[in-house]
Amino acid sequence: MTLRTKFLIFIISIALLSGGASIFFSKRGVHSILVGEVAKRGILKTTGLPGEIASAFEEEDEDLLLAFLQEAMERTEALYAVALDERGRVLAHTNVVEKGKVYQDRATQEALRSEQPGYRELQTAGQTVVDVSFPVWSVQTASTEEEFLLFGGKELKETTRLGTLRLGLSMAEMMETEKRITLQLAWILAVTGLIAFGISLVSMKKVLRRVRILVEGTEKIGRGEYGAMVQAFSNDELGVLARSFNQMSEGLDRAHTHLEKEVKLRTQELESVIYTISHDLKSPVVSMQGMASILMEDYAGQLDEKGKHYLQRVIENANYMEQMIMDLLTLSRVGAQKGSEPVEVRSVVERILDIHQERFAKKGIEIIIQPTFPRLLFDRAQITELFQNLITNAAKFMGDQPCPRIEIGGRESGEWVELYVKDNGIGIDPEYHDRIFGVFQRLKDVEVEGTGVGLSIVKKIVDLAHGTIWIESRKGEGTTFFIRFPKAEEA
């Protein structure tokens, strides 16, 4: 899953959660406000009614109470009205079947205890109503001149709770209002969410673009392009990271340049030593070969079979040493390129096959050359040396293959040229894949001619051309050597 996808999932999840939570809590808030408004409207429309109905409560006159209840219903458009005494007994109800019942539910008990008008949302007869309650008090006033003077006028002398008046106010209109407000709120949140989502997408694209630049920078470093820089757009965390990356890249470039110089110096010293040793050894080895050959030709009749055997071994070992010295000299000269030129790889391969035609025919090796070959800008001598070693190496390790075959081909793309040499020989165990390019490295369980330097020469040629070489092989399944060079433009 890409970082972009993760960001989108995160943003959408946050938007859905926050939008859903906003609608939920906003709806609850709107509902609470509207319930309060319905209750307040009912209380305002019945102002003074509890005082007017007090005498009816005192006398428990059902007809008079019903008249007041009916008036209250008309004022407030209530669904029901009920008069309760101080114990919760129904004195009068617009639904006459409720007369005489004693209500002991929680809403009734709270209404009986409250000394102020209150309201509560209830479910009754399948409808949601706002149940508004009013305490009803009896009022005794100053009735004599002495009481009037004592209380300073016609003020309360004593109050007694007579009961409670309850009205069930319809919420139908309020519910419609709530639906409209909720729908409008949902539209507002949706539009706001889309705008926020669009802004988030734009911001995310900017952030991801900067992250992508950093990723491309790390890929360049991974390809060995030390010193690659990325642009630091701002002073935020990504800007700090970009500047840190540039500092790291500069440090790697300096370290790599220093190491390359050190390696080049040590390689030159090593090549010089190899060249000197090989050159100095060549003369005595050639002399040894010559004298041993003369002994074998002129004095063979004076030697017994054991002497001939020893002399033959001297000649064979001298030949082996000469070949090794020549290979080491070739290895030491690989770095001294004469210059690149356009090379038709197919013609180079055909020339090598002509030289070894009799050898391959003797072993019954079938040679397959792909019809199309890439054109390469390279040192002709070194590309010849490369294919010479790969092709002869394939021929050496055929084993007992009844139908030996070597296939040679290549292809090119916009940035690189790929070549390969494939055989169906004995194959190479994966544990040896990285070791076979070392000097004098040979497969331990295989006895074939050679000095173990050929693949080292190939590897050095490829490395100096900034190419890559790898193999695909398993024991008993043949081997394919792949070589990839960066494509160079012809001058």
User: At 150, is the pLDDT very low, low, confident or very high (cuts 50, 70, 90)?
Assistant: very low
User: What is the average pLDDT across 344-369?
Assistant: 88
The band of 52, judged by pLDDT with boundaries at 50, 70 and 90, is confident
Lowest mean pLDDT among 16-20, 347-351, 469-473: 16-20
Residue 81: φ, ψ to 5°: -145, 140
The pLDDT value given to residue 114 = 85
Q: What pTM did the predictor assign?
A: 0.43
pLDDT the model gives residue 74: 85
Determine the average pLDDT of the residues in 282-288.
73
Residue 485 has pLDDT above 60, yes or no: yes
pLDDT of residue 481: 92
Q: Which has more confidence, 268 or 484?
A: 484
- Which of 359, 360, 380 minimizes the C-alpha distance to 369? 360
Q: Is residue 293 over pLDDT 90?
A: no
The confidence score (pLDDT) of residue 393 equals 87
Pull the structure tokens for residue 224: 């060995």
Q: What is the pLDDT of residue 473?
A: 87
> What does the H/E/C string look like for the chain?
CCHHHHHHHHHHHHHHHHHHHHHHHHHHHHHHHHHHHHHHHHHHHCCCHHHHHHHHHHHCCHHHHHHHHHHHHHHHCEEEEEEEECCCEEEEECCHHHCCCECCCHHHHHHHHCCCCEEEEEEECCEEEEEEEEEEEEEEECCCHHHHHHHCCCCEEEEEEEEEEEEEEECHHHHHHHHHHHHHHHHHHHHHHHHHHHHHHHHHHHHHHHHHHHHHHHHHHHCCCCCCCCCCCCCCHHHHHHHHHHHHHHHHHHHHHHHHHHHHHHHHHHHHHHHHHHHHHHHHHHHHHHHHHHHHHHCHHHCCHHHHHHHHHHHHHHHHHHHHHHHHHHHHHCCCCCCCEEEEHHHHHHHHHHHCHHHHHHHCCEEEECCCCCEEEECHHHHHHHHHHHHHHHHHCCCCCCCCEEEEEEEECCCEEEEEEEECCCCCCHHHCCCCCCCCCCCCCCCCCCCCCHHHHHHHHHHHCCCEEEEEECCCCCEEEEEEEECCCCC
Asked if 83 contacts 93 with a C-beta cutoff of 8 angstroms, the reply is yes
Segment 339-350 shows an average pLDDT of 85
Fold type of domain 339-486: Heat Shock Protein 90 (3.30.565)
Q: Mean pLDDT over residues 409-422, rounded?
A: 87
Q: What is the b/e burial string over 367-389, where b = at least 16 CB atoms within 10 angstroms of the residue's CB? A: beeeeebbebbbbbebbbbbbbb
Res 75: pLDDT: 84
User: Of 391, 325, 317, 316, nearest to 359 (Cα)?
Assistant: 391
Provide the pLDDT for residue 339: 67
| Range name among 6-15, 180-189, 277-286, 457-466 with the lowest pLDDT average | 277-286
Domain ranges of the chain: 339-486
pLDDT at 154: 47
pLDDT of 482 higher than 90:
yes
Average pLDDT, integer, range 410-427: 87
Is the pLDDT at 165 greater than 80? The verdict is: yes
Judged by average pLDDT, the poorest of 140-149, 223-232, 261-270, 438-447 is 140-149
In the chain, % of residues over pLDDT 90: 4
Mean pLDDT lowest among 154-163, 183-192, 248-257, 448-457: 154-163
- For residue 461, what pLDDT is reported? 85
Average pLDDT over residues 226-234: 75
pLDDT value at position 151? 43
Q: What is the pLDDT of residue 157?
A: 46
Banded pLDDT at 304 (limits 50, 70, 90)? confident
For residues 333-361, give the mean pLDDT. Answer: 80
Residue 78 pLDDT: 86
pLDDT averaged over every residue in the chain: 79
pLDDT at 153 over 50: no
